[in-house]
Amino acid sequence: MKPRIPYTKPSITELEVRYATDATANGWGEHCYEYIHRFEAAFKAHLGVKHAIATSSCTGALHMGLAALGIGVGDEVILADTNWIASAAPIVHLGATPVFVDILAQTWCLDPQQVEAAITPRTKAIIAVHLYGNLCDMDALLAIGERHGIPVIEDAAEAIGSVWHGRRAGSMGAFGSFSFHGTKTITTGEGGMFVTNDDALYETVLTLSNHGRSRTQKKQFWPDMLGYKYKMSNVQAAIGCAQVARIDELIARKQAILHRYRELLHDCQGCKLNDEQAGAVIGAWMPNLVFDPETKVTSECLQAAFAADNIDARVFFYPLSSLPMFGSQRGAKASTDIMSRSINLPSYHDMNDEEQQRVVQLVRGVLYG
């Protein structure tokens, strides 16, 4: 059997091992937050925002941010039908209702026209998920939010390195959330980050993240509100500090892999990779290849072909509205259509050119027979 090509895995060097070892040996007692604070400071400097809070997951960051905005029973939150459930679950946990709208076929992100059409008096937020590092049209979405007095939230879990007209993904909305899962461009194993430029929102989320205990509270073990336990560990943050120190290198490598796929597939008719919009830079977390309907290539046949060649590949996200917990409806048109004829290509940082050529050779075999 041919050697396995994983679809993704983290880039870990001696620096990550050294920082994690130091945190394990010495990061206790009065030092138990040192790497956490370093990680938060380094990440917010990279992003260009005022505040950052390290969390146990991107989902936790979203949950607390939505709670801090007062999202609750009877409210509606608009997001794209094409998403992982992590973007929708916090809405439901708070008693609100997710409202799914279709994506743009070019970017696989929220369609601003459909967002505006879906707004009702109960709409309390819009979540813009930058899918696979592709970017939502933030100018249009922020303008919609301003017209209707609705906050726009950025789920930038997959968008480290993505830039919209000079502004980094996650830095433009009421708040942003990031994931450092082991599959992401930078990792802490598990983990996330809440970021914002809103001082009051930051203080509320900081309190929520520590069981509702305010940092200004003088009484020991006295919560000021009912909060959550969404803190990151010092050991995880130590790995994150090393990853942020290498963040430009890690982003550049992801972008180089996507660029190389473009080169290798430039003469292939009937399929298309992530579309880069004018004025935007794709962070290139996950190259996704969409086949034209005329090719008759399906996600199912792609999965089978990749598995037979010992290459890992992921499918495009299912429409959330098609899942049983959301009613098992037929998903929105573009969300359903693209899901049925696309595949995520392997893109781990240490992937070599021979492996990329092998992936492309397989794609050609599926496409041309």
Size of the chain in residues: 369
Question: Alpha helix locations (H) across 69-226?
Answer: 89-93, 112-118, 138-148, 199-208
Decide: 174 and 243 in contact? Cβ < 8 Å. Answer: no
SS3 content of the chain, % helix, strand, coil (to 5): 40, 15, 40
The rounded distance, in Å, linking the Cα atoms of 27 and 233 is: 10
Alpha carbon 214 to its chain's center: 29
Decide: 128 and 154 in contact? Cβ < 8 Å. Answer: yes
**pTM for the full predicted model:** 0.95
The DSSP result for 238-257, as a single string, is HHHHHHHHTHHHHHHHHHHH
Decide: 156 and 167 in contact? Cβ < 8 Å. Answer: no
CA dihedral 299, 302, 304, 306 (to 10 degrees): -140
What per-residue confidence (pLDDT) applies to 1?
Answer: 80
Walk me through the domains of the chain, giving residue ranges and CATH numbers. Answer: 14-101+108-245 (3.40.640.10), 248-368 (3.90.1150.10)
Which pairs from 33-39 meet CB under 8 Å and 24+ separation?
A: 33/234, 34/234, 35/234, 35/235, 35/237, 35/238, 35/240, 35/241, 36/231, 36/232, 36/234, 36/237, 38/237, 38/241, 39/188, 39/232, 39/237, 39/238, 39/240, 39/241, 39/244
Decide: 367 and 272 in contact? Cβ < 8 Å. Answer: no
The rounded distance, in Å, linking the Cα atoms of 132 and 288 is: 8
Considering only CA atoms, which of 35, 150, 258 is closest in space to residue 43?
Answer: 35
What per-residue confidence (pLDDT) applies to 301?
Answer: 93
**Which residue type does 106 have?**
Q
Considering only CA atoms, which of 212, 261, 312 is closest in space to residue 3?
Answer: 312
Strands across the sheet with 163-164, in order?
167-168, 163-164, 280-281
Q: Which residue has the tokens 């200004």?
A: 216
Decide: 230 and 210 in contact? Cβ < 8 Å. Answer: no
The rounded distance, in Å, linking the Cα atoms of 350 and 56 is: 26
pLDDT digits (tens, 9 = 90+) for 310-359: 999 999 999 999 999 998 888 789 999 999 999 999 999 999 999 999 99
Considering only CA atoms, which of 316, 364, 354, 359 is closest in space to residue 336?
Answer: 316
What per-residue confidence (pLDDT) applies to 327?
Answer: 87
pLDDT digit string (tens) for the chain, length 369 residues: 899 999 999 999 999 999 999 999 999 999 999 999 999 999 999 999 999 999 999 999 999 999 999 999 999 999 999 999 999 999 999 999 999 999 999 999 999 999 999 999 999 999 999 999 999 999 999 999 999 999 999 999 999 999 999 999 999 999 999 999 999 999 999 999 999 999 999 999 999 999 999 998 888 899 999 999 999 999 999 999 999 999 999 999 999 999 999 999 999 999 999 988 889 999 999 999 999 999 999 999 999 999 999 999 999 999 999 999 998 888 789 999 999 999 999 999 999 999 999 999 999 999 987
What per-residue confidence (pLDDT) applies to 286?
Answer: 95
**Which residue type does 87 have?**
S
The rounded distance, in Å, linking the Cα atoms of 183 and 179 is: 9
What per-residue confidence (pLDDT) applies to 257?
Answer: 98
What per-residue confidence (pLDDT) applies to 331?
Answer: 75
